[in-house]
Amino acid sequence: MTAIALSTKFHSSSSSPLSSNSTINTLDDDSLLKELPYHPTTADNDPLFSFDTDELLSNIHPSTNLPLDGFLNFHSLKIATSNAKTLSKFFVLGFGFEEIAYKGLETGSKLLASHVLRNGSIIIEVTNSLESILNDSQLENFDQEENKSDIIDLISMENYLDKHCDGGVMDVSFLVVDVHSIFTNAVENGAIPVKSPRLIHDSNGAIKIATIGVPNIDIQHTLMENINYNGPYLPNYRSIGTMPQINLPPTCVTVLDHCVENYTFNEMEEQARLYASIFKFHKFWSIDESDINTGHTSLNSVVMSSSNERIKIPINEPVKTKYKSQIEEFNDFNGGNGIQHIALRTNDIINTVMNLKTRGIEFNKVTNKYYENLEARMKEDDIIIEEDFEILKKLNILIDYDIGSKSKKSKRVNYLLQIFTKPLHDKPTLFIEIIQRHHHDGFGKGTFKGLFESIELQQKLRGTFVKTK
């Protein structure tokens, strides 16, 4: 087994956390499938399954409910931090998550501690290191598969936290149909191999798993193929029994809606093309500075999606404007590109937001001018929504609707409701979005201006709303 080059930290987002000559980064089988990672029951010669990158990025890519690209759904998020126990308690008390699994010294894990949380189908693993790897003498047990995996995770985390000291989302995991084929295609098209496909198991069953890194950003994607696993999270994590009841109102979030990645100037198109190449994701939605501009700041954004559209990753970049935008502010304080926010979907945003406020969660405020303009537009369009407008206004919830979906008889439309928390840290980095969809699959084109204006108010308070050079 070739030793890891521990002297080289993973500061560059284009390099692996392991040395290039490490055999851990190579595929286990050179004869692995080379075709695109589509569902194995499909025909290889079916033209529906042979989109090239340009077609995936076009505006006319067809949608489907089938996992034609091999991706089923989000599995989980991994948040790296210096104190997983404290941050996990914040998610439990603030956002209503429940701890379902644990890995640490008490379970035999000597390098990492993780607290696994769940709310609805949303799973978040909050993790920190227990040791710091300083020299090769600590690698004497490296040939043991479990130790090997933890050492790779530890090196990745240490390098992530070196660059992003407050921590953040370092891994977005996906449930997939075939780990080997997706991993092979991803690596052949520019993804960074971190962990080759392997089988992990315990008394609850087995999961096939692999991890790739994404160039130009310090995040990873772990691919998970469930063989027959029925445990609470993953093999070798200890299940948490019944926890003491907390006398706080429920938060009613159900699924992970999307994860937003922020990049610097002129990188959005490159990253969108990368996701189309490595995962065969397609362009789902896009917006640019001509669509949204507050007069002070703006952005470009494209949403990349799996074929069944259960996985959505918006990719943002700033544009040159009069003032420093929230995208630039995030990148400055985050130490580079990263995941800016995660969106949690609910079926009852009013009660969810009220209950989150009761739990101590703070949200951005929206200007009265936004609601005055919105109310006038809704009256002009003569539309109806289910929720009380005044309650939405009082709670600072944003509203976007599709006038083309209006029913002449009922005056109802497809619409979405969304709100954004203040940053979770003192630095304006990671924050949470709460979103409710009423048959509206968009990303709030009509709310972007209101969102940007609300964040500009926070930037002014922070002293970061400054003119660009």
**What is the model's pLDDT at position 250?**
95
- Please check whether residue 98 lies inside any domain of the structure: yes
The dihedral over CA atoms of 320, 322, 326, 329, expressed in degrees to the nearest 10, equals 90
Residue at which a domain ends, from 214, 239, 264: 239
- Please check whether residue 399 lies inside any domain of the structure: yes
**What is the model's pLDDT at position 293?**
62
Q: Are residues 59 and 107 in the same domain?
A: yes
Query: 351 or 296: which carries more pLDDT confidence?
Result: 351
Across-strand partners of 200?
Answer: 207
High-pLDDT (> 90) share of the chain, %: 64
Range of the domain at 454: 253-462
- Please check whether residue 8 lies inside any domain of the structure: no
Q: Are residues 234 and 273 in the same domain?
A: no
Mean pLDDT of 274-287: 93
CATH number at residue 358: 3.10.180.10
For residues 123 and 414, what is the distance between their CA atoms, to the nearest angstrom? 28
- Please check whether residue 30 lies inside any domain of the structure: yes
Residue 108 structure tokens:
């035999």
Q: Are residues 281 and 345 in the same domain?
A: yes
Q: Are residues 235 and 328 in the same domain?
A: no
For residues 32 and 78, what is the distance between their CA atoms, to the nearest angstrom? 28
Q: Are residues 154 and 67 in the same domain?
A: yes
- The CA–CA distances, whole Å, from 317 to 94, 297, 457 equal 30, 12, 20
Q: Are residues 98 and 220 in the same domain?
A: yes
Q: Are residues 142 and 263 in the same domain?
A: no
Q: Are residues 230 and 275 in the same domain?
A: no
Q: Are residues 198 and 267 in the same domain?
A: no
Report whether pLDDT(146) > 80. no
For residues 94 and 133, what is the distance between their CA atoms, to the nearest angstrom? 33
Largest CA distance in the chain: 74
Q: Do 69 and 221 meet the contact criterion of CB atoms below 8 Å apart?
A: no
Q: Are residues 273 and 227 in the same domain?
A: no
Domain count, the chain: 2
Report whether pLDDT(6) > 60. no
- Please check whether residue 457 lies inside any domain of the structure: yes
Per-residue pLDDT band for 32 (boundaries 50, 70, 90) equals very low
- The CA–CA distances, whole Å, from 97 to 118, 144, 240, 260, 368 equal 5, 34, 13, 21, 33
**What is the model's pLDDT at position 36?**
32
Q: Are residues 163 and 47 in the same domain?
A: yes
Residue at which a domain ends, from 215, 239, 263: 239
* CB burial of residue 237 (10 Å; 0-12, 13-18, 19+): buried
Dihedral sign, CA of 7, 261, 104, 165? Answer: positive
Q: How far apart are the first and last CA of the chain?
A: 52
Report whether pLDDT(24) > 60. no
- Please check whether residue 103 lies inside any domain of the structure: yes
- Please check whether residue 335 lies inside any domain of the structure: yes
- Please check whether residue 431 lies inside any domain of the structure: yes
Per-residue pLDDT band for 1 (boundaries 50, 70, 90) equals very low
By three-state DSSP, how is residue 194 classified?
strand
The dihedral over CA atoms of 199, 202, 203, 209, expressed in degrees to the nearest 10, equals -40
Integer-rounded Cα radius of gyration of the chain: 22
Q: Are residues 276 and 362 in the same domain?
A: yes
Residue at which a domain ends, from 210, 239, 268: 239
pLDDT tens-digit readout, 66-84:
888 999 999 999 999 999 9
**What is the model's pLDDT at position 458?**
76
